Structure 1
């Protein structure tokens, strides 16, 4: 993941002052990988989870979450978003590593 942070394109998806978690996304030069970092600074008592819309992915491609194995379509990630699995409470964070699924 270090190569994505050092050499990838950075997208600031949401800032720390809104109702959403703070989210950053790094996308590799060829669009084959993405890293989404999410942070929450305070509690969200009873507020719904808001998906974070991703940017910079290859249109029409599918991406696999390296941790869970779930496959997501780039168009859905861009239009609807990705729900970040943040633990309840203050100062929670998560990292989601997405890898493009090559068509056979």
Structure 2
């Protein structure tokens, strides 16, 4: 089994912008929230969003080639989180509800 990716909370932001949404992940739980409130992602979900197999995703993550930014929603977006994963010229943005279900994927 490939170990999960743990992303600590780092910032707050407004998440009201709209972009095209891939429907395959919408409404599904793509991350778990651990006891510390951090998001735990499965490489099998995140890797393909960046064009990587899960094993390659983990290797690139260990090398520091995969970067992520986690933003906590405020105001009308309270309880939502936006996580942006970047790998080389590729980027994937996930907006999640408080339980880790995908509300928006770009």
Superposition TM-score, scaled by structure 2 size: 0.30
Normalized per residue, the structure richer in helix is: 2
Higher relative contact order (CA 8 A, sep 6+): 2
Superposition TM-score, scaled by structure 1 size: 0.31
